Amino acid sequence: MEVLTSQNYQEKISQGAVVVDVGANWCPDCRKISPMMDALAKDYSQVKIFKVDFDQSEDLRESLGIKRIPTLIFYKDGKEVGQRLVEPDTKNIIEAEFKKLV
């Protein structure tokens, strides 16, 4: 999955159905949902999934108001839709939001 920065964030989320996964390599919960996100990427090929590195993109993290990770943000044509998932722990919870997005 492509990692976004503050320089390309708006461009990448501007078209279609997009999920942004904010996390970090050291985060156990982020590592836990990673295979779930990979599976959902295959099942929902029409949804673009991007990552934001919590440590590397401090300015982006602050502008998005991210306090805890992992956080999933859902966009449709550049507008945030649905609810943010903060520390989701099951594929079913995440997939329910994917279904709403498409």
Name the one residue in this structure whose structure tokens are 């306090």.
Answer: 67
Strand partners, 80: 75
Contact 36, 85 (CB under 8 A): no
Q: In the chain, which ranges are continuous DSSP H helix? A: 9-13, 28-43, 58-64, 91-101
pLDDT in tens, the chain (102 residues): 899 999 999 999 999 999 999 999 999 999 999 999 999 999 999 999 999 999 999 999 999 999 999 999 999 999 999 999 999 999 999 999 999 999
SS3 assignment, position 37: helix
User: In degrees rounded to 5, what are phi and psi of residue 87?
Assistant: 55, 50
Q: What pTM does this model have? A: 0.96
Which residues belong to the active site?
A: 27, 30
